[in-house]
């Protein structure tokens, strides 16, 4: 039986990929910071810091046939381990992001320009290791490694169970408000931009068919459904399914309410969510044997996942950001009630 290690594999996507790989006859070793137990002899969980290179070198001696890497690295961190990973497995699968793409002005393919290569007029952004730039730089590290046993995946925003997106917000910024019957504030200029959102079950199906796939070696794939909707339509899905009410405002007000603490929110909005994101997924369909009809429609998959939300809304308050999100919620409540807010 071939052995597959999932680094950072207990999250929204890994929780769907793991049972698929077990059903396909693989042994699966999931590494994460969570304390998990397995009752399946072919599945093991390990609580460990996967960014610890000493731990990684020791663990790689166990001989994994494939490694699926869900980790989020700083570029310097990845530089220190990229060849180590690729040289110690038959197939290394790297999770990049569709956020590496620049504004395509049309349908996105794997050959569409990347932000890192085309954006020249924002030196402050380019000087950072923002997620979109870091993933592109890490792709370049892989391509210049001299190794050929890799596959780079660029998934669109992927939702599952406790992970959801709406424009530039994650679940902790809007799901809890919907459950507490508090109105959400959205940026009006982004609402009519086309967005692509993936269900984790569909993404896991694509990934499972690319592991050990000879056609995938040395290749890059946009991992996405071809279905797309405006953010306004997606917001209306949340309204229909969980009763989320929303109002809209200008971008500066939206960013002031949400992201005055950091710049990443502004960059995520301006260099992704303000672009039309429509994906040509013909390459991944060709090499996996899937068809678009094999994917669950967005509205149905959102309804499926949202029907399983915990009754206690505190699940979507990240402890490390409790003060920040309390401040965001206060300003949002003030803006909804009066059109003004105290910074």
For 205-231, the pLDDT digits (tens) are 999 999 999 999 999 999 999 999 999
| Residue in this structure with the two tokens 């052995």, named with its chain if needed | 3
Tokens of residue 327, six digits: 């401040």
Please provide residue 268's backbone torsions phi and psi, each rounded to the nearest 5 degrees: -60, -40
| Residue in this structure with the two tokens 């690319």, named with its chain if needed | 210
Residues with Cβ < 8 Å from 173, sequence gap 6 or more?
166, 184, 258, 325, 328
What's the confidence (pLDDT) of residue 259? 66
What's the confidence (pLDDT) of residue 64? 97
What's the confidence (pLDDT) of residue 326? 82
- Model confidence pLDDT, tens digit, residues 82-112: 999 999 999 999 999 999 999 998 999 999 9
Please provide residue 67's backbone torsions phi and psi, each rounded to the nearest 5 degrees: -130, 125
H or E segment to which residue 123 belongs: helix 123-126
Distance in angstroms (rounded) separating the CA atoms of residues 112 and 315: 37
- Model confidence pLDDT, tens digit, residues 268-305: 999 999 999 999 999 999 999 999 999 999 999 999 99
Strands 278-279 and 91-95, bridge-based pairing: unpaired
**Could you give the C-alpha distances from 65 to 15, 54, 56, in angstroms and in order?**
20, 20, 15
What's the confidence (pLDDT) of residue 320? 43
What's the confidence (pLDDT) of residue 34? 86
- With vertex at residue 230, the alpha carbon angle to CA 229 and CA 232, rounded to the nearest 5 degrees, is 125
Tokens of residue 79, six digits: 């530089």
> What is residue 40's DSSP assignment?
S
- Alpha-carbon Rg for the chain in angstroms: 20
What's the confidence (pLDDT) of residue 321? 53
Tokens of residue 236, six digits: 């209306």
What's the confidence (pLDDT) of residue 176? 83
Q: Which residues in the chain land under pLDDT 50?
A: 318-320
């Amino acid at each position: 039986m071939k052995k597959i290690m999932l680094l950072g594999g207990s999250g929204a996507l890994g929780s769907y990929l793991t049972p698929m790989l077990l059903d396909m006859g693989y042994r699966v070793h999931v590494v994460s910071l969570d304390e998990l137990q397995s009752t399946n002899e072919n599945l093991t969980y390990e609580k460990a810091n996967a960014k610890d290179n000493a731990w990684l070198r020791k663990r790689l001696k166990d001989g994994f046939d494939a490694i699926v890497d869900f980790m989020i690295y700083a570029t310097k961190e990845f530089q220190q381990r990229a060849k180590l990973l690729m040289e110690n497995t038959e197939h290394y699968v790297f999770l990049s992001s569709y956020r590496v793409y620049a504004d395509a002005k049309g349908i996105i393919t794997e050959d569409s320009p990347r932000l890192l290569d085309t954006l020249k007029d924002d030196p402050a952004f380019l000087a950072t290791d923002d997620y979109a730039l870091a993933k592109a730089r890490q792709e370049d590290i892989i391509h210049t490694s001299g190794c050929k046993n890799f596959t780079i995946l660029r998934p669109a925003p992927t939702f599952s169970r406790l992970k959801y997106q709406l424009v530039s917000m994650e679940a902790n910024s809007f799901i809890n408000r919907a459950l507490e019957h508090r109105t959400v504030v959205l940026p009006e200029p982004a609402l009519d931009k086309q967005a692509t959102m993936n269900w984790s079950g569909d993404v896991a199906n694509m990934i499972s068919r690319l592991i050990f796939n000879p056609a995938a070696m040395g290749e890059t794939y946009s991992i996405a459904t071809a279905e797309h909707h405006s953010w306004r339509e997606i917001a209306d899905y949340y309204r229909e399914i969980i009763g989320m009410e929303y109002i809209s405002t200008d971008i500066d007000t939206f960013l002031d309410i949400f992201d005055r603490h950091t710049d990443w929110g502004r960059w995520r909005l301006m260099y992704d969510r303000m672009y039309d994101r429509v994906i040509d997924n013909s390459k991944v369909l060709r090499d996996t044997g899937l068809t678009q009809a094999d994917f669950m429609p967005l509205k149905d998959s959102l309804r499926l996942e949202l029907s399983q939300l915990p009754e206690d809304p505190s699940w979507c308050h990240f402890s490390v950001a409790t003060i920040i999100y309390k401040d965001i919620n206060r300003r949002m409540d003030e803006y909804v009630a009066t059109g003004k807010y105290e910074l």
